[in-house]
């Protein structure tokens, strides 16, 4: 008879002192982590295991929409855990229907499919586009276009759709059926359509490229893109995983561009820190049949109740107005830094509370250096490539917290400037 294995208590449970060596021993090294261990959060602030506080302008990378430990989100989790957390999609559940209704009534879409992440939402969009190509366009080997410097996820299909070779190189051979176009370049799109001679079925594109350097879409380009998609019966699929859910100052990033997409993907801020994603589409491209696509955890009652709480709170607490006001405050503060330190800061760009500080190409420092210096000043930031520092605080950030963050950033930049003088 085989003896049962001895149960071992982890050395870094919350009641014990955190041990980074134990963490690194057991967790795969797939992330280049900064050397702090975070333990708790409230609003726009987090604390590490040593008790130091930080203003969190990362927010789980544009995810903690309502900040940390929001009482309404916490109450929704507690109430649903005491009722029904998961039953699979073999049955109807009220919260999935309610969240789908909210998203449809507050977007250009007619239908919703729920999953667990942005990558899964984009996987769903890719599958939808391919079936649309077969069923509607009669294309046997369809091609989906995406943009250079885009980011659509880490699954094999979405990393292929991602127009950044650095993410793709270790995982070849990649799936076929994808090609890439320059962002905000309409003639290049027209050339790609001619190149593929009727095989293109969809364009998957971000209204603002987040991971690719906080690059906003050009309004004229996107309107031309919409016209070309209409002309060729292509699906215009917008990846709103980072720019959506109010982060731009509007509920959806595409609203800044004056277009109506066929497919919308969302995640990150939809759950306010709880894992949930969704792929939304118009009825004209709703080609999925039962059995075509599925997700065990997608749309579970717990995730959907939290998502609906986040959505309703955005409206009830007038959060989008705060995003616009604080976005203007952040923009002005970054512009001031650019003017004061032109040799270290080249420009600022973005929408609302998704903004980037661009470093010069010949800068003596990279974005990660600025992030590390800001951490020392009690401010958490995140790079967007090597030359852009990204600012994605909770959408509830106050004017006082924004001023505090900008002061911390200025101290960090000032020290970097002194060290490189």
pLDDT tens per residue across span 235-292: 999 999 999 999 999 999 999 999 999 999 999 999 999 999 999 999 999 999 999 9
Contact of 135 with 122, CB cutoff 8 Å:
no
Decide: pTM greater than 0.85.
yes
Active site residue 230: no
pLDDT tens per residue across span 327-380: 999 999 999 999 999 999 999 999 999 999 999 998 889 999 999 999 999 999
Q: How many residues does the chain have?
A: 421
Active site residue 239: yes
Of 129, 287, 105, 106, the closest CA to residue 203 belongs to: 129
Mean of per-residue pLDDT scores for the chain: 95
In the set 151, 222, 274, 288, the catalytic residue is 151
> Any bridge partners for residue 179, and if so which?
145
Q: What mean pLDDT is predicted for residues 47-55? A: 96
Instruction: Extract the tokens encoding 312.
Output: 């309703």
Distances, alpha carbon 26 to alpha carbons 10, 18, 127, 251, in Å? 10, 14, 35, 40
Calculate what percentage of the chain has a pLDDT beyond 70: 96
Using alpha carbons only, give the angle 287, 290, 291 rounded to the nearest 5 degrees: 105
Q: Reply yes or no: is the peptide bond before residue 173 cis, omega within 30 of 0.
A: yes
Confidence of residue 18 (pLDDT cuts 50, 70, 90): confident
pLDDT tens per residue across span 28-44: 999 999 999 999 999 99
Other beta carbons within 10 Å of 258: 11
Burial class (CB in 10 A: 0-12, 13-18, 19+), 28: exposed
Using alpha carbons only, give the angle 405, 42, 67 rounded to the nearest 5 degrees: 70
Question: Which three-class secondary structure state does DSSP give residue 6?
Answer: coil
Helices within 82-215 (DSSP H only): 94-105, 118-132, 156-161, 165-168, 186-196
Query: Which pLDDT does position 169 carry in this prediction?
Result: 95
Instruction: Extract the tokens encoding 153.
Output: 């996820």
Calculate what percentage of the chain has a pLDDT beyond 90: 93
Contact of 398 with 364, CB cutoff 8 Å:
no
| pLDDT over threshold 80, residue 11 | no
Handedness of CA 285, 289, 290, 291 (dihedral sign): negative
In the set 268, 274, 369, 391, the catalytic residue is 268
Using alpha carbons only, give the angle 334, 339, 344 rounded to the nearest 5 degrees: 80
Query: Which pLDDT does position 168 carry in this prediction?
Result: 96
DSSP-derived secondary structure letter, 57: S
Domains and CATH numbers, the chain: 20-70+319-419 (3.90.1150.10), 72-316 (3.40.640.10)
Instruction: Extract the tokens encoding 193.
Output: 């359509």
Distances, alpha carbon 338 to alpha carbons 294, 301, 335, 364, 389, in Å? 48, 46, 5, 15, 13
Instruction: Extract the tokens encoding 333.
Output: 């503060």
Handedness of CA 58, 61, 66, 70 (dihedral sign): negative
Other beta carbons within 10 Å of 279: 29
pLDDT tens per residue across span 66-85: 999 999 999 999 999 999 99
Of 309, 293, 314, 311, the closest CA to residue 115 belongs to: 293
In the set 56, 113, 239, 250, the catalytic residue is 239
Instruction: Extract the tokens encoding 156.
Output: 């094999």
Query: Which pLDDT does position 364 carry in this prediction?
Result: 85
Active site residue 218: no
Query: Which pLDDT does position 3 carry in this prediction?
Result: 60
d(CA 206, CA 240): 6
Confidence of residue 9 (pLDDT cuts 50, 70, 90): low
Burial class (CB in 10 A: 0-12, 13-18, 19+), 400: exposed
């Amino acid at each position: 008879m085989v003896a049962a294995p001895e149960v071992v208590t982890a050395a870094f449970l919350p009641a014990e002192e955190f041990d980074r060596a134990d963490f690194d021993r057991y967790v795969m090294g797939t992330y280049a982590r900064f050397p702090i261990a975070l333990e708790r959060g409230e609003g726009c602030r987090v604390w590490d295991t040593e008790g130091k506080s930080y203003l969190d302008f990362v927010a789980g990378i544009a995810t903690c929409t309502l900040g940390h430990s929001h009482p309404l989100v916490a109450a929704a989790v507690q109430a649903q855990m005491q009722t029904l957390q998961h039953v699979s999609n073999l049955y109807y559940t009220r919260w999935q229907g309610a969240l789908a209704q909210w998203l449809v009534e507050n977007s250009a879409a007619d239908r919703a499919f729920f999953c667990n992440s942005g990558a899964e939402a984009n996987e769903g969009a890719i599958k939808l586009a391919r079936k649309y190509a077969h069923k509607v366009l009669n294309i046997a080997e369809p091609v989906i276009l995406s943009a250079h410097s885009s980011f659509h996820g880490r699954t094999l299909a979405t990393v292929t759709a991602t127009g950044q070779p650095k993410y793709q190189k270790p995982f070849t051979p990649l799936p076929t059926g994808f090609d890439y176009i320059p962002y905000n370049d309409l003639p290049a799109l027209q050339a790609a359509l001619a190149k593929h001679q009727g095989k293109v079925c969809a364009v998957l594109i971000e209204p603002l490229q987040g991971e690719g350097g906080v690059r906003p879409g050009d309004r004229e380009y996107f309107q031309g893109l919409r016209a070309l998609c209409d002309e060729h019966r292509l699906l215009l699929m917008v990846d709103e995983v980072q720019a959506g859910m109010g982060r731009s100052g509007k509920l959806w990033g595409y609203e800044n561009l004056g277009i109506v997409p066929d497919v919308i993907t969302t995640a990150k801020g939809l759950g306010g820190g709880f894992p949930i994603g969704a792929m939304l589409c118009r009825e004209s491209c709703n080609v999925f049949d039962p059995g075509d696509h599925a997700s065990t955890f997608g749309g579970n009652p717990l995730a959907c109740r939290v998502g609906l709480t986040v959505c309703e709170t955005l409206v009830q607490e007038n959060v989008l107005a705060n995003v616009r006001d604080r976005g203007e405050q952040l923009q002005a503060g970054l512009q001031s830094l650019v003017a004061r330190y032109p040799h270290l800061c080249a420009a600022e760009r973005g929408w609302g509370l998704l903004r980037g500080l661009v470093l010069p190409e010949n800068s003596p420092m990279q974005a990660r250096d600025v992030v590390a210096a800001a951490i020392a000043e009690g401010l958490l930031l995140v790079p967007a490539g090597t030359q852009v520092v990204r600012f994605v605080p909770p959408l509830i950030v106050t004017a006082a917290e924004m001023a505090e963050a900008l002061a911390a950033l200025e101290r960090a930049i000032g020290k970097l400037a002194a060290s490189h003088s």
